Structures are given as structure tokens and as C-alpha cells.
Amino acid sequence: MPHYQDINKNSITEFQIKLSYELWDNIFNSDNGSDVDNLFNSILNSYLRTLYSSFPIKKFNKKNQ
């Protein structure tokens, strides 16, 4: 069954707000700063966690097709 993400003005605003509240200092001031790969992975994980919480993946069903 196909999947989709509901992207609209409200979800985009929610995404932006969540990113603005992310504590990036914790990532840059941690031990990850000495290793570029770990730093990148920490940033990516925070970004993806925010992305998927703002735009959850949903399954199509007969009702919303």
C-alpha cells in the first residue's frame, strides 16, 4: 500500500518551530565536535527526528485515496 506525508503550511510551520527549539549547542559542544563523522550524524539524527515528527509517514487507505 502506498505511503505519503501530509506537507502543508501548518506542518511546515511546526517543523520550523521544532527546529528553532533544537538545542544545537549540545551537539556542537559535546565530544562529537572532535570527530566530523559523529558531528554530522548527530546533526542528521536531530534533523530527521524533527522531520519525521512534523511530517509523519501515513498509509493510504480506501477512505483517503
Q: Which of residues 9 and 27 earns the better pLDDT score?
A: 9
Residue identified by cell 517543523 is: 15
pLDDT of residue 65: 53
d(CA 13, CA 38): 29
* 58 contacts 6 by C-beta, under 8 angstroms: yes
Residue identified by cell 520550523 is: 16
Domain boundaries, given as residue ranges, for the chain: 3-55
Radius of gyration of the chain (CA): 16
Please state whether the predicted TM-score (pTM) of the whole model is above 0.75.
Answer: no
What's the pLDDT tens digit per position in 30-52? 665 568 888 888 899 999 999 99
